[in-house]
Structure 1
Amino acid sequence: MAIRPHPDPAALRVVLHRALADPDAAWSLGGYGAGATFRRGAAEPVASPCGGRPGLVTPRGALVLGGAEGLVPVAYETALGRDDWSQALALCRPLAALPPCPVPAVSEIGPDREAARAQDRDGVLFCLGLPLRQARILARVRGDAVGLLRAACGRPADAALWERLPGLGATLVAAHGCDRIEVVLPDAPPGPRAHWFDKLLRLGRLHAATAPIPAGLAPVIHLHPPHPVMEGGYDPGRHAAFQDLLARWGDPALAALKRRLLAGEAVAIPDARPARAVARVALAQRRCLPAR
């Protein structure tokens, strides 16, 4: 993986600000196996987090962004099949700057002073103790549910507890420093979602093997810009917007390889997973791009 230039916090802030205004953009926070995603509908009521923080609040959840300083953006595309691909801007931090995994047991933290809405700050937070360094997976509850979660403290969280959270009126919170996603449970697509896959967590990976994240970095937040292929067909503006992110924060060697493939050049594909993935992405995109 090629070394990227130093991040530009000012440029990153502009990108994040524009994405917050786009109802088709999605966000995720967490690690490999557990975390939360935030989506909103175009007609859904939306407000800003209290305290003047950047982000979005809807009836189904919230996104709060702590700031661009210290984040290293990594843009990449992933082949999903013969005719499809995904795209993401991973906002990473140096692995050495991440805290260790929490104690593997449910524990009480106290009132949620950083809640996106002021009226939620009296809710009580409990850490579920999931083995992640990129985020803490928390449950915010009130009333009788507080006592029920206190009774679970000191023991590892399990699938049975996870399944009980919606019935307790809990809000799932994935938090890293001042960054957070809140998910009002029970969740349902296409809104904010919470996820926990114990088998994936046990692998101890920082990210999926298909994500070309440079060594020494760990993705904390992902911005998922709207895909260029929509129900109405191919959108060249969306495609161009993400190609700009790739040019700025993607791997230069992979970007050059894809340009040559899209231009129809006969190129020997290096025998490496990222290069093979780029070749598949280029093949899928050539079916969408206008004829040259």
Structure 2
Amino acid sequence: MRAATGPDAVAELLRTSLADPGTAWSLGSFGAIAEFMRDPGEGVLALPDDRLGMATARGAIALTPSPELRPVAYETAVASGWNQTIALCLPESACAMSRRRVVTELGPDGEAARPEDRAGILFDLGLDLLAVDACVRASDPDAIACLRSGVGLPLFDHANPIGPRLVAMSPHRVFLARIGRVEVYAPIPAPGGTSPEGPHTHVLPKLLRSGRTHAATTPVPEGWVPCAGIHPAHPYKDMMGERITFDAARYEAFQILLERWGDPELLALKRGGEPAGGTVPSRHALAARRIADAQARSLRGESIAPDTGEDDGEEADLHA
């Protein structure tokens, strides 16, 4: 019998995951995502309210679970192995945010994770995403003036003065969803630069143009939309995607989460069985069998090739 998966169990999953510095988090959509992570021993500040989460010197996460929140644990196949995530999903009918299409000033950020940031001015970047508002927050007068000069224009419009100055300004990035927020304080890397270790964001116009909420490789149930993700420690790579020695304990820990929060039909396929009713899309069924093979090889101590960054030909967004 599967363990209970009601609101209390969901809240406990969030609390347990937040307490583990080996777990990373993401909040966003296909092509726009904010990631929160912390180092063991890194200083942590409690939130000044009843939200679940924390703040560090590099970023923050603040969550407000609702009865409709549904965790969906899954694995996806990549060229050399697999990724693993617990997507935090809401019904499509309950996940919508503002859907603004132009840069919009929202005023002081009264719900900032840190009290000292609540006087900062929040600007929605107008990315027109279903389940997330991608925003920036500024306190510096020059940065505020620059952001105000782009209000009313699409972010990627050549006439918008924000674009050429965004990297130099590096305002706080604040991604909002119905279930909470992730804030990133680290500087934005220059074009061609690498993402910093720790909290960071990605905004990829090519993927945004697809209008998707998640990659086609993500086995989220129909009618549900992933707003955020929990990324428990991976068995063969660290938070930045670098290869480590295979850790069987990490593997087993996620299998327990998969048993509780995953799709029983995909689990049956992975174990060599057939799903009841044959309702699993062939793409996901094939991936489940590839993952089972890769994991069996890893458990036998066989090495697997380095990741290529590809996920069955598609760039994944809610995977660490």
1:47 paired to 2:52: no
Shift of 1:271: 7.5
Shift of 1:52: 3.6
Aligned letter for 1:149? Answer: L
1:158 paired to 2:156: yes
- Listed as ranges, the matches of 1:233-248 within 5 Å are 233-248=245-260
Query: Is contact 1:79-1:281 (8 Å) kept?
Result: yes
| Unaligned ranges ≥5, structure 1 | 262-269
Query: Is contact 1:131-1:201 (8 Å) kept?
Result: no
Shift of 1:275: 0.6
Give the fraction of aligned pairs with identical amino acids, expressed as a percent: 44
Shift of 1:26: 0.7
Match in the other structure for 2:207: 200
Query: Deviations 1:247-266 (Å, cap 9, x if unpaired)?
Result: 122111110121238xxxxx
Match in the other structure for 2:24: 26
* TM-score where L is the length of structure 1: 0.88
Q: C-alpha separation between the residues in 1 aligned to 2:222 and 2:79? A: 26
Query: Is contact 2:143-2:169 (8 Å) kept?
Result: yes
Q: C-alpha separation between the residues in 1 aligned to 2:19 and 2:105? A: 35
Shift of 1:68: 4.7
* TM-score where L is the length of structure 2: 0.81
Q: C-alpha separation between the residues in 2 aligned to 1:69 and 1:255? A: 25
Q: Determine helix, strand or coil for the equivalent of 2:78.
A: strand
Query: Deviations 1:136-179 (Å, cap 9, x if unpaired)?
Result: 00110012211211111110012873552342241000011350
Shift of 1:45: 1.4
Q: C-alpha separation between the residues in 2 aligned to 1:105 and 1:6? A: 43
Shift of 1:199: 1.2
Aligned letter for 2:152? Answer: G
Match in the other structure for 1:147: 145
Detail structure 1 runs of 4+ shifted over 4 Å in the superposition.
4-7
Match in the other structure for 2:76: 78
Backbone CA RMSD of aligned residues: 2.3
Match in the other structure for 2:262: 250
Query: Deviations 1:72-113 (Å, cap 9, x if unpaired)?
Result: 11110011123x211000010011112265231111100000
Q: C-alpha separation between the residues in 2 aligned to 1:19 and 1:271? A: 30
Match in the other structure for 1:286: 296
Aligned letter for 1:197? Answer: L
CA distance 1:178–1:287, change in 2 (3 Å) = closer
Q: C-alpha separation between the residues in 1 aligned to 2:115 and 2:286? A: 48
Q: Determine helix, strand or coil for the equivalent of 2:39.
A: coil
Q: C-alpha separation between the residues in 1 aligned to 2:281 and 2:126? A: 39
1:137 paired to 2:134: yes
Q: C-alpha separation between the residues in 2 aligned to 1:195 and 1:11? A: 31
| Unaligned ranges ≥5, structure 2 | 189-194, 238-242, 274-279, 302-320
